[in-house]
Structure 1
């Protein structure tokens, strides 16, 4: 039966592969096609049949490639990975539709399942559910870390291919239509082949903003309103007494792109202002387009339909005086709304929209005023027998305005606490020479900062010249204040403090907010959330203590009144993993969350957690639904924010239907977690003790390798593509925080990216095998049974193992050994790779023992099949990448860089990332 279900996927992959092959033959010649086909066939034979002769032939072919042949091979296999991703996404959509058409029971992870479970279990009735959403917040936040290896032009080509595949699937095509679809697909694949895969120049922050905005245009602006409509309709169907409920705008897609300054010197006040203007242009442009179409649709004549007084007043106020529309009040009202919105566009952005209004009008003072005019349309139609007309484009537009406003997406600001400290120190020193703020202890710092926060007097003077850093930071906060005045306070909600160590870090930010008028002491007003980010293992262990102390300060508690007694805390998955390894990072995060829940409950403050997750498991990635359900009790409370980073944004939201499904998953998991009954019993102490023992042993193993082994840093830089990644144009942010090769200074993203490229995936598993071995040695009688119980009964541990299972299945030490050969010191190479190999085997054995599987991913056959099908197309890319790295580095030593070889390396990085579907 599974074979039948997967037949359409195989057909799509064969179709796209054939079209790609035909394109290679037409564009590069028969010889190039024949070479690529031989490589493909040998790779498939080796992977499918474990054919050693096929592997030898494959290696002989690949080692003998000329420079130009290498580029052709790398391009072909990279593009195949992209096409396979499109086919898989379409198959997920196909299977979801098949379940819905068949009337299958809602599947776990869907919104329908979460609502049905809540109602059937008695956790909430429909009215209570509607009330729940009034105070809920589900916010995926797009970030522009350098793992988004796709160009927007490539994504555009892939969108065309996806739409053409979708059309073949949804309708029965006539022979002529099928032929036209085939031809269009052939053109799309040709365009993809002829489109440059890599950027020729390093991305600017504005380029990243543009990339991020494309997902709003293709997915969020349309799919989010549909999600709200579906949810409202389900609640209405469950309880007709609710009428036609309109839920609060609890799903908010946020962004860091243009506001994240931590380690990115290119994010300035000017960039922030431009990013906000670009966001505004997308939002208003969407509304104007929708109004234009709506005006053509609502051609209702006053003799055939009635209208409310408010609607007639809108029509009368409209500058549209055309005699052809004199008896069409809805159209005239919409023309007036359009004219006012066009004036708003001009007022906020300084130029007219592409489609002009019928006449000049007054701009809207706020998005709420626009929403009210649209509500007048809605109420008039509903009251006069035309309720059906309210449920189409008008409903989508009304919801979009209420969700996206004039700002499109709340833009977070983030900066490192060290920068805040230096800026505050300079401001204090200039205002009162001799303060020597940086030399004060924590108590003295807090006392001084609280003294400043008690007065409305600013520290900064327009008559004093400050350092570039201080001037730049003050300019950012002033730009944020102006953004509130221009676009509304929803434009910037949060200021995040990286590397939060203590209470003074929060108070320093408060002082800087006061300088810009975002905190006003006399009014006890705070216009943004002050969000500490705890990242390292030590910071996570200290998190609840920091919050305990800040909540004990009356002045700070007073500020929280302006934020509905809610405090957001961000937890960093990336740096904690690089700091302490996968297992210890996960455990430190879990413990920190539990301790924060207790601390917040004791102080009567609502906790909102912001999870800084990356795409890969080594950076907190993995299935979002399971991750949210595995949170400690009380850690969600109806509100959750989490980052969506790098290539994950494209994979999750590039296709509108897949994007809708991912948004549903976040809402469903938040609902299910928040409404689940309190556990009858807390997590058994034996589980907690066992987890602590495992964490201690895994931490020792990980730190022992990464930070305490002489030569490991050199091994890492020579055996991975880290040097080449640092040079690749995949982001505006430097790969390291400082100009060193130290692991401590390296950003977590390129750290994980590099290990995934060479198929080691070390950040996602290293240390677990040693930990389990030590645990079982200490408890030979009941240790394994206890770990198996933990996997069965504890969602947190189960999720850890599930993610590790996935990462291990993508690991290939035979390929990794080829990368290890790039390390010139043979003794160092053997010593470190030998340890990696031994730990990998121990970890695989441990996972299989605990889960009871005979092979990795036995419990996830869909993913297992997907990975198995991809490997024959990934292996050649890895093999060629190693050879290209060797040639590139040899040439570099001889002072002779070959740009074609470097191009091949960069294309191979792109292809491997696409094939693994997690680059960091």
Structure 2
């Protein structure tokens, strides 16, 4: 349905564009000639397509451009009415426009070509007949279970149509992909993201499933194919990702596919899950190292790598200013192409207004150009020292985060009672269930509700926990270590971007309101243990961030953002108080549609006020 609607939107846009183009191309053949190739194309259309409506008159034979574009409009409308792929393709549309352009340029119409034909050609190159590309995404475990079940069915001589469970979901998805590529522009689906990738076998399993369901993965002249996009999410998988990709790229079954894609490969890096797994500092550092080593591995294997950054709107999910994030990439590890995720609310804030949309795109392009042009050897003499410091601080932060948060059963119980995470499914604001499985383990909770719950309850734990401890322990060793931190803040883009993002997360947190949410925890001893632990690390992190940044207050160097948060908080705080009361009522077994509606309203209101959901 999404593909059908998108196709209709872009075809109607092209129809309007060609109508405007026809308005401008009023030149008569009595005044200027057209190219012979355009004359021949017009003659072929006249012979092949009867009953065409000519907006400028059927007997108007001298305005050749308008007459030719009438046939183009006819074919576009036919494609729109067909609901699927008709006889007119985006490539044929492009060729028709190029015929018009070449004819104009050859007959003193270059300005008309630049002003009216070129913008339409650029739009067509960008959007084709599909408008947008849909990514398919599924977890590796689902693929593995599906293939295993299919093998068992085959041994029992049971038809695949009679199967149920994971294999049915995966089979239906793959068959739908094949059907869509036959019925709609094949460019509408070109990537299949494999969540939780741990080894090259996870990709090969998908290839086998695709083969069994007639999905062509390799690129051809008519079809760009479907590229598997491994998504590395946990800290352990990020560390293994370069060698996993090396083995995949060298695998005899995968090499022909890679060649068909002209040696391009997309790899996705998971910011939110790595944060949930290892904390803010370790996630940032491991993503940076994986980014760099993946590019080195790709160079060794003669692969053109494009990284897909699974960044969210909130700092805890890799959010923050995109411009500085692009500049903070490893030196020499940017190919000029990248993909980033933008959350729903971020789309609204950044792109709903044309001026803001242009400004945000300019920032991204400017950062990309600057990243390509910056010297690879900049600060090379000090880079090794900075990386050693990051490695040491990452180990300190990781140890504390795993002990206090990830492996602490008290925290999960506290989190489920002191945040509205369990209301996420009821409020219907997530695209997927909060948990991958029905277990109560932290690893089965998706990263989005994890960040969502902490942000809604004003703790913002994923944005800062462990950072203060690491900075304090590192700085306490010597005065030279303290100077090194200040040096890194001034010259090391990765570190300064990290500190600024942590500072933003702390500024959005409010421990006074978080304490009210903590009051929802039914076990007083557990409540005190966890909140005291969080409060101590929050205070430590705030102190160390301001010390390293050389500031007396949070956001001291970003007064505009500080003022924005200061103005928003008086409107957000009452909604937080109302939400705490509503959650308390729900704990007391009160229920009903009015309560659910009010809770949903507070969730949306707080998310809008903080400019974060999860």
Structure 1 residue 559 displacement after superposition: 2.6
Structure 1 residue 397 displacement after superposition: 2.0
Is 1:298 the counterpart of 2:21? The answer is no
Q: C-alpha separation between the residues in 2 aligned to 1:508 and 1:391?
A: 49
* Partner of residue 481, structure 1: 178
Structure 1 residue 675 displacement after superposition: 3.0
Is 1:821 the counterpart of 2:519? The answer is yes
Q: C-alpha separation between the residues in 2 aligned to 1:588 and 1:621?
A: 16
Residues 594 and 512 of structure 1: CA distance in aligned 2, closer, same or farther (over 3 Å): same
* Partner of residue 657, structure 1: 355
Q: C-alpha separation between the residues in 1 aligned to 2:226 and 2:408?
A: 44
* Partner of residue 49, structure 2: none
SS at match of 1:586: helix
Is 1:373 the counterpart of 2:72? The answer is no
Q: C-alpha separation between the residues in 2 aligned to 1:341 and 1:782?
A: 69
Is 1:724 the counterpart of 2:427? The answer is no
Contact 2:269/2:287, CA 8 A, preserved across alignment: yes
User: C-alpha offsets along residues 597-654 of structure 1, whole Å, 9 cap, x if unaligned?
Assistant: 2222222222211111111110011111111111112322111111112311111221
Q: C-alpha separation between the residues in 1 aligned to 2:139 and 2:325?
A: 27
Q: C-alpha separation between the residues in 1 aligned to 2:159 and 2:364?
A: 47
Q: C-alpha separation between the residues in 2 aligned to 1:663 and 1:717?
A: 38
* Partner of residue 420, structure 1: 143
Q: C-alpha separation between the residues in 2 aligned to 1:654 and 1:797?
A: 32
**Structure with larger RCO (C-alpha < 8 A, sep 6+):** 1
User: C-alpha offsets along residues 58-103 of structure 1, whole Å, 9 cap, x if unaligned?
Assistant: xxxxxxxxxxxxxxxxxxxxxxxxxxxxxxxxxxxxxxxxxxxxxx
C-alpha RMSD of the superposition: 2.5
SS at match of 1:711: helix
Contact 1:410/1:492, CA 8 A, preserved across alignment: yes
SS at match of 2:138: strand
User: C-alpha offsets along residues 811-841 of structure 1, whole Å, 9 cap, x if unaligned?
Assistant: 1111111111122222222221111111111
Residues 393 and 741 of structure 1: CA distance in aligned 2, closer, same or farther (over 3 Å): farther
Q: How many residues align?
A: 603
Is 1:498 the counterpart of 2:195? The answer is yes
Is 1:467 the counterpart of 2:164? The answer is yes
Is 1:334 the counterpart of 2:69? The answer is yes
Is 1:915 the counterpart of 2:605? The answer is no
Residues 419 and 309 of structure 1: CA distance in aligned 2, closer, same or farther (over 3 Å): same
Residues 341 and 701 of structure 1: CA distance in aligned 2, closer, same or farther (over 3 Å): same
Contact 2:425/2:434, CA 8 A, preserved across alignment: yes
Structure 1 residue 519 displacement after superposition: 4.1
Structure 1 residue 510 displacement after superposition: 1.6
Residues 634 and 305 of structure 1: CA distance in aligned 2, closer, same or farther (over 3 Å): same
Residues 683 and 347 of structure 1: CA distance in aligned 2, closer, same or farther (over 3 Å): farther
Residues 851 and 339 of structure 1: CA distance in aligned 2, closer, same or farther (over 3 Å): same
Aligned with residue 847 of structure 1, among 538, 545, 550: 545
Contact 1:791/1:850, CA 8 A, preserved across alignment: yes
Structure 1 residue 588 displacement after superposition: 1.0
- Matches for 1:871-886 after TM superposition, within 5 Å: 871-886=569-584
Structure 1 residue 586 displacement after superposition: 0.7
Is 1:897 the counterpart of 2:584? The answer is no
Aligned with residue 688 of structure 1, among 359, 384, 387: 387
Q: C-alpha separation between the residues in 2 aligned to 1:789 and 1:839?
A: 24
Contact 2:219/2:261, CA 8 A, preserved across alignment: no
Residues 834 and 623 of structure 1: CA distance in aligned 2, closer, same or farther (over 3 Å): same
SS at match of 2:266: strand
* Partner of residue 345, structure 1: 80
Structure 1 residue 858 displacement after superposition: 1.4
Residues 372 and 882 of structure 1: CA distance in aligned 2, closer, same or farther (over 3 Å): same
Q: C-alpha separation between the residues in 2 aligned to 1:530 and 1:682?
A: 39
* Partner of residue 539, structure 1: 237
Contact 2:518/2:527, CA 8 A, preserved across alignment: yes
* Partner of residue 263, structure 1: none
User: C-alpha offsets along residues 865-905 of structure 1, whole Å, 9 cap, x if unaligned?
Assistant: 21122122222222222222223332x2xxx4143333222
Aligned with residue 400 of structure 1, among 123, 130, 147: 123
* Partner of residue 10, structure 2: 283
Is 1:748 the counterpart of 2:447? The answer is yes
Is 1:568 the counterpart of 2:266? The answer is yes
* Partner of residue 310, structure 2: 612
Aligned with residue 471 of structure 2, among 772, 779, 784: 772
Q: C-alpha separation between the residues in 1 aligned to 2:175 and 2:329?
A: 37
Contact 1:765/1:843, CA 8 A, preserved across alignment: yes
Structure 1 residue 496 displacement after superposition: 1.5
* Partner of residue 860, structure 1: 558
Contact 2:190/2:224, CA 8 A, preserved across alignment: no
* Partner of residue 528, structure 2: 830
Contact 1:320/1:332, CA 8 A, preserved across alignment: no
After alignment, is 742-751 or 675-684 more displaced?
Answer: 675-684
Residues 420 and 716 of structure 1: CA distance in aligned 2, closer, same or farther (over 3 Å): same
TM-score by length of 2: 0.92
Contact 1:560/1:567, CA 8 A, preserved across alignment: yes
Q: C-alpha separation between the residues in 2 aligned to 1:783 and 1:700?
A: 20
User: C-alpha offsets along residues 570-602 of structure 1, whole Å, 9 cap, x if unaligned?
Assistant: 110111111111111111111111221222222
SS at match of 1:644: coil
SS at match of 1:412: strand
Aligned with residue 621 of structure 1, among 319, 323, 347: 319
* Partner of residue 404, structure 2: 705
* Partner of residue 411, structure 1: 134
